[in-house]
Structures are given as C-alpha cells and as structure tokens.
Amino acid sequence: METWHIWIIIALLLFIIEIFTSGFAIFCISVGAIAAAIASELDMELKGQLICFSIATFASFVAVRPLMIKYFHKKSKQVQTNTNTLIGRTAIVTETIDVGHNSGRVKIDGDVWRAIASKGEIIEIGEEAIVEQVNSTILTVKKL
C-alpha cells in the first residue's frame, strides 16, 4: 500500500466522522489529508506531505469552513420562548384595565395575566388588546 492510499483512507474516515458531528472542523482536516495524498502521489517526501497537509487544513479552516457553515447552517428566525411568545398576540380583557385603579387582567389561551395599558388608556371588559411587552408577569397591552 502506498502512502497516498493511507492519506485517502484517512480522508475518507474523517469524512465519515464529519457526518456525525457539526461545525465542519473534521471536514477541514480531511481536505488537508486529500492535499497530502496529492503531494504523496507527486513523489514528495513525508515532510512535504505534512506541509501540504498543514497548509490545506489551515486554508480550508479560513476559507471553506465559513462558507460551509453559512450554507448549511442558515440563520433561521429567532424562536421566541416562554412569555416572549405572548408579544404580538391578541388578548381579551377580563378585568377593566385602568392605571388609576391599578387594575386590569387579560386572557390569552385560557391563561389570565395582569395587564397595564401602554398609553395609560382605559380598556373595558370584553375588548381586545394586543400585547406589546412582557415584564415579569405583567403584560403591557394596547387597545385594538
């Protein structure tokens, strides 16, 4: 078995390992192994093969990896979690929202939340309001 065969086997094993990992770091090392296999086939000594391996690995980390990450890990919408999912939702007022009386409750999906009006307005029972902000367990809403 020739040296370039060993480099190709190493590259293939690294490609297989990359399938089970993320980040494309192992992919970059396998690119270096392919470059070393080419250097071996061109009758370079082991020192030259290792230099080619190092340069190709470094180059793929600098050039190829960012492109691969950009292509395969597309930025998706930020997923809202917990109470932040309430922002933008429509709520039904179950207790009149009045800053002067420090009162107000709204209902969203069966859950009742303490609420205040964003503009200090009074919102009557049964009216709909949009949630603008969440501060702990208090929703800031505006009249629809």
Ranking 18-22, 56-60, 66-70, 80-84 by mean pLDDT, the lowest is 80-84
Among 49, 72, 95, the domain boundary falls at 72
Please tell me the distance from the alpha carbon of residue 67 to that of residue 100, in angstroms, as a whole number. Answer: 57
Q: Per the structure, how many domains does the chain have?
A: 2
Q: Tens of pLDDT along 73-96?
A: 766 566 666 777 888 999 999 999
CATH label of the domain that carries residue 114: 2.40.50.140
- Are 111 and 90 members of one domain? yes
- Are 119 and 86 members of one domain? yes
DSSP for 73-127, written as a single string: SPPPPPPP-GGGGGTT-EEEEEEEEEGGGTEEEEEETTEEEEEEETTS--B-TT-
Question: Contact, 120 vs 129, CB < 8 A?
Answer: no
- Are 98 and 139 members of one domain? yes
For residue 77, being part of any structural domain is answered with no
Q: What is the DSSP pairing of strand 138-143 with strand 111-117?
A: parallel
The pTM of the full predicted model, rounded to 2 decimals, is 0.52
Specify the pLDDT at position 119: 83
- Are 67 and 102 members of one domain? no
Among 72, 93, 126, the domain boundary falls at 72
Specify the pLDDT at position 64: 85
Among 30, 45, 72, the domain boundary falls at 72
For residue 36, being part of any structural domain is answered with yes
- Are 65 and 24 members of one domain? yes
Q: H or E element: which one contains 130?
A: strand 128-135
